[in-house]
């Protein structure tokens, strides 16, 4: 079947009915803009290819007509015009096809479909003419708005274009900077910049490197060569640019450029990864030229002034599935995060001495605002920290946060407050997933996880590839991460329902329970998937042995302010667990036990991936999510069989258990405990739980910032763990029925609207439907924090 033809694209690539036998460069009429109907018609060049069946041509024509109508309804007249023309052109080949006579005699389904299409031909012709008239009026209006030139125009003297497939840095500089001409009207003289050729630069380096800086002075786009497979089609290349709408538009208009220049880091020849991109561009209808020496040569010859940083783009609300960057609850960071090519070493775990003193060299540089972190080699680090007169060996440090591995950012001028970027502002695309029998638990979970934009963007950009830990015996050597990344790519294309066979095959190899047709719990599947992704992407290549606290260290934890103790324990945890999953989903709970006999206190800090909240019992009506939270953190008396073994009394004692939050994650997952055992039977709590969709404020559940002078010397508060802690809902996992025979669906938020995802069916949903007794898992995204000068 034919795919849609994007605005500015040439005819369909080979492999599609109506494609040209050999892609050729489209020559545009320079008397008109690329969006003028004259040039849009030039992009429609289908040719009859008898290797495709006549049935394929009929189907392709019908599909093109439907897509033309879709673009027409959306107001995208350029794309509608091109698709109407393509539909008519492809349909015209049907009577010329060698199979036509046989099909006409048989009068079967294909013939009937063609007859139906012919009945719509007058409609196609009429609408195409109407659109062409509108486009002409638009172009004339734009031409009238152009200001008159200030002086005589310089004659268009293009630099000589390269005749072979390569050019040097000096030649590219000449193309981008053609110089000036002196012109005169007999009285005055002007220096007029020569009209150089139009250049499209194709950066085939990874998008992470592209974001750090690329060749400036011309339109540029990034086609990561590692993501371009052999025999990649024009459509495959376009899909790689779905995350960058401006680049996508440039690729669609590639035929309007005089030169298309490809480069990588060194560009030593049309070989390897570069050859795949080079060949794919040729198949897309352009003749690319290789920049000899690549980006390194350009930077060496031209210098930093010739390097530009790609601009942040505003996504289009079209079907291109632009991936919005996840708003961090701290000061905005560069668009990408970059895993290191070598394992990094973070600051040491810090336990202050009993006197509160601390040597400056033990203070992690990452705790000083405005300074880039420095990670000395692990071999040369003194890991002995002082506790009074004793010395304790701490575990070797691990890598820094997966979202913090970024180059230092220069200070920027900004307003006192960052713009509020909430869950309702995010753009998410979804398409249906086929059910394997009872795999709705999997489908609903995957839809909500895909709507977690920060993680999806991490997978779509290919950043996960540089974090895969093949040495971790607890992981799958990257197989699960790769399968999930491929799944996210297909979901974000939004091209229609599909069956996630590859993903299911990989995850069921690790957990065969997910292969069968039995119903499973969505929460258990989610936790297993996140744990598996964490192990695949854990940056700690060799986990140090678990580090047990001594009595002296435990006393420091017990007596320190919770903000300080939390930071110490979080650093200790990160020496073993450090991945994008930890950065995104994991928080920390503070569990304090107090003996009611001797008053001994013991405090532990534990991480969590999700909160499992009890639903308070009510005879009728509903309960609020805040009531569920209060039931989760209320003080609990531990007595009888649950009595705490007091380390001072050396026996079980009646005690008070206090559970509080110490750290909240960017993405907060809340499961409602709807299932419980009543004898041998599993029962479901059907109480309706009310909740805020926006501005869910958890600030009162977190310890407040320490007042000035209250913290011990050397302590610098976390830039993420500061108020306010306000969240917006962006996803809901629903459960209908009972545990064994129920059904799961998902609701995800995109651009202020809610979509219902029920296996293959994707449709709009009202907010009122979210507040029902089917509520099972809530997906919250933290709002960005205020940013001050």
pLDDT score recorded for residue 9: 38
Average pLDDT over residues 289-302: 89
C-alpha distances in angstroms, 471 versus 250, 468, 537, 654?
41, 9, 11, 46
* pLDDT tens track for 194-234: 667 889 999 998 887 787 789 988 899 999 888 888 888 88
Ordered DSSP codes for 670-728: EEE--EEEETTEEEE---EEE--SS-EE-GGGSPPPPPTTTSPTT----SSS-S--EEE
Instruction: Point out the least confidently predicted range of 254-258, 370-374, 767-771.
Output: 370-374
Of 13, 527, 2, 462, nearest to 228 (Cα)? 462
Is a pLDDT exceeding 90 seen at residue 484?
yes
The residue among 238 and 376 whose pLDDT is bigger is 238
Torsion of CA 326, 330, 335, 340, to 10 degrees: -110
pTM value > 0.75: no
pLDDT score recorded for residue 377: 31
Beta-bridge partner residues of 604: 591
Is a pLDDT exceeding 50 seen at residue 315?
no
Is a pLDDT exceeding 90 seen at residue 100?
no
Average pLDDT over residues 332-359: 37
* Distance, CA of 143 to CA of 33 (rounded, Å): 10
Q: What b-and-e string marks burial along 562-598, b requiring 16 or more CB atoms within 10 Å of the CB?
A: bbbbbbbbbbbbbbbbbbbbbbbbbbbbbebbbbbee
The residue among 264 and 786 whose pLDDT is bigger is 264
pLDDT score recorded for residue 580: 95
Indicate which residues carry an active-site annotation: 440, 743
Instruction: Point out the least confidently predicted range of 359-373, 693-707, 762-776.
Output: 359-373
Please indicate whether the domains covering 37-145 and 166-308 agree at the CATH topology level. no
C-beta of residue 415 within 8 angstroms of C-beta of residue 384: no
pLDDT score recorded for residue 780: 96
pLDDT score recorded for residue 399: 44
Residue ranges in 417-478 assigned as alpha helix (H) = 440-450, 453-460
C-beta of residue 613 within 8 angstroms of C-beta of residue 634: no
Instruction: Point out the least confidently predicted range of 174-183, 264-273, 710-719, 769-778.
Output: 710-719
* pLDDT tens track for 140-166: 777 665 544 444 444 444 455 555 678
Is a pLDDT exceeding 70 seen at residue 675?
yes
- C-alpha gyration radius of the chain: 31
CATH class for domain 166-308?
alpha beta
Is a pLDDT exceeding 80 seen at residue 283?
yes
The residue among 177 and 753 whose pLDDT is bigger is 753
Average pLDDT over residues 674-688: 80
pLDDT score recorded for residue 787: 56
Is a pLDDT exceeding 60 seen at residue 417?
no
Instruction: Point out the least confidently predicted range of 130-134, 300-304, 613-617.
Output: 300-304
C-beta of residue 666 within 8 angstroms of C-beta of residue 687: no
Residue ranges in 213-331 assigned as alpha helix (H) = 234-240, 245-252, 272-283, 294-302
- Please, is 444 exposed, middle or buried when counting C-beta atoms within 10 Å of its C-beta (0-12, 13-18, 19+)? buried
* pLDDT tens track for 17-55: 554 333 344 555 656 777 788 878 877 767 777 767 878
Q: What percent of the chain has pLDDT over 70?
A: 73
3-state secondary structure of 630: helix
* Distance, CA of 184 to CA of 191 (rounded, Å): 9
* Distance, CA of 373 to CA of 346 (rounded, Å): 8
Kindly list the domain boundaries of the chain, sorted by start residue: 37-145, 166-308, 360-392
CATH code reported for the domain at 37-145: 1.20.58.80
Question: Angle at Cα 493 formed by Cα 488 and Cα 494, nearest 5°?
Answer: 105
C-alpha distances in angstroms, 545 versus 231, 384, 576?
47, 16, 9
Instruction: Point out the least confidently predicted range of 598-607, 708-717, 761-770.
Output: 708-717
Average pLDDT over residues 671-686: 81
Ordered DSSP codes for 486-542: HHHHHHHHT-S-B--HHHHHHHHHH-GGGTSSS---HHHHHHHHHHHHHHHH---SS
């Amino acid at each position: 079947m034919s795919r849609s033809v994007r605005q500015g694209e040439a005819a369909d690539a080979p492999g599609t009915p109506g494609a040209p036998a050999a892609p050729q460069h489209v020559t545009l009429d320079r008397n008109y803009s690329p969006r003028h109907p004259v040039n849009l018609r030039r992009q429609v060049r289908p040719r009859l290819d008898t290797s495709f069946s006549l049935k394929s041509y009929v189907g392709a024509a019908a599909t093109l007509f439907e897509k033309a109508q879709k673009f027409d309804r959306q107001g995208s007249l350029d794309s509608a015009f091109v698709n109407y023309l393509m539909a008519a052109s492809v349909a015209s080949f049907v009577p010329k096809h060698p199979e036509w006579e046989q099909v006409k005699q048989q009068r079967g389904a294909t013939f009937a479909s063609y007859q139906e299409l012919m009945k719509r031909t007058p409609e196609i012709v009429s609408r195409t003419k109407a659109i062409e008239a509108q486009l002409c009026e638009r172009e004339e209006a734009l031409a009238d708005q152009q200001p008159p030139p200030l002086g005589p125009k310089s004659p268009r003297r293009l630099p000589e274009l390269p005749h072979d497939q390569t050019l040097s840095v000096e030649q590219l500089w000449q193309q981008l900077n053609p110089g000036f001409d002196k012109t005169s009207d007999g009285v005055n003289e002007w220096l007029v910049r020569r009209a150089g050729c139009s250049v499209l630069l194709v950066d085939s380096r990874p998008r992470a490197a592209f974001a750090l800086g690329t060749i400036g002075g011309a339109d540029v786009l990034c086609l990561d060569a590692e993501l371009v497979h052999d025999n990649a089609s024009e459509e495959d290349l376009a899909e790689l640019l779905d995350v960058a709408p401006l680049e996508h538009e440039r690729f669609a208009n590639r035929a309007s450029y005089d030169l298309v220049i490809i480069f990588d880091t060194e560009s030593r020849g049309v070989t390897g990864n570069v050859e795949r991109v080079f060949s794919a561009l040729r198949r897309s209808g352009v003749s690319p030229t290789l920049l000899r020496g690549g980006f390194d040569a350009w930077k060496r010859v031209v210098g930093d002034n010739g390097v530009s940083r790609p601009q942040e783009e505003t996504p289009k609300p079209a079907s291109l599935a632009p991936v919005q960057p996840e708003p961090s609850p701290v000061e905005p960071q560069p668009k990408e995060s970059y895993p290191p090519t070598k394992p990094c070493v973070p600051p040491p775990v810090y336990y202050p001495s009993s006197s509160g003193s601390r040597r400056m060299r033990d203070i992690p540089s990452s705790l000083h605002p405005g300074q880039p972190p420095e990670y000395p080699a692990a071999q040369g680090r003194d890991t002995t920290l002082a506790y009074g007169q004793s010395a304790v060996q701490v575990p070797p440090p691990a890598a820094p946060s997966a979202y913090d591995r970024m180059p230092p950012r220069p200070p920027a001028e900004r307003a006192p407050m960052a713009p509020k970027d909430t869950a309702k502002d995010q753009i998410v695309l979804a398409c249906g997933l086929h059910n394997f029998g009872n795999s709705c638990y999997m489908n609903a979970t995957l839809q909500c996880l895909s709507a977690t934009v920060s993680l999806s963007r991490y997978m779509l950009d290919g950043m996960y590839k540089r974090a895969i830990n093949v040495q971790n015996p607890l992981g799958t050597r990257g197989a699960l991460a790769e399968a999930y990344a491929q799944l996210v790519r297909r979901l974000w294309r939004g091209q229609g329902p599909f069956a996630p066979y590859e993903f299911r095959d990989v995850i069921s190899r690790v957990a065969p329970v997910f292969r069968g047709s039995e119903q499973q719990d969505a929460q258990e599947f989610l936790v297993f998937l996140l744990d598996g992704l964490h192990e695949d992407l854990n940056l700690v290549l060799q986990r140090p042995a678990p580090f047990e606290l001594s009595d002296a260290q435990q006393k420091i934890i017990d007596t320190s302010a919770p903000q300080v103790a939390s930071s110490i324990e979080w650093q200790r945890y990160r020496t073993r667990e450090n991945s994008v999953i930890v950065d995104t989903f994991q928080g920390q709970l503070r569990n304090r036990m107090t003996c009611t006999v001797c008053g001994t206190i013991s405090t532990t800090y534990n991480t969590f991936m999700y909160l499992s909240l009890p639903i308070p019992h009510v005879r009728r009506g509903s309960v609020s999510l805040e009531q569920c939270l209060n039931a989760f953190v209320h003080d609990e008396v531990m007595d009888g069989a649950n009595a705490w073994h007091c380390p001072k009394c050396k026996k079980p004692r009646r005690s008070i258990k206090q559970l509080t939050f110490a750290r909240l994650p960017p993405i907060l997952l809340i499961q409602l405990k709807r299932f419980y055992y009543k004898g041998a039977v599993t029962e479901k709590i059907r109480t309706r739980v009310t909740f805020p969709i926006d501005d869910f404020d958890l600030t009162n559940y977190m310890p407040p910032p320490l007042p000035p002078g209250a913290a011990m010397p050397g302590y610098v508060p976390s830039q993420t763990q500061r108020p306010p802690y306000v969240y917006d809902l962006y996803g809901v996992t629903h459960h209908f029925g009972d545990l064994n025979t129920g059904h799961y669906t998902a609701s995800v938020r995109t651009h202020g609207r809610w979509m219902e995802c029920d296996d293959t069916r994707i449709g709009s949903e009202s907010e009122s439907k979210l507040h029902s007794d089917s509520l099972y898992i809530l997906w919250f995204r933290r709002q960005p924090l205020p940013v001050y000068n």
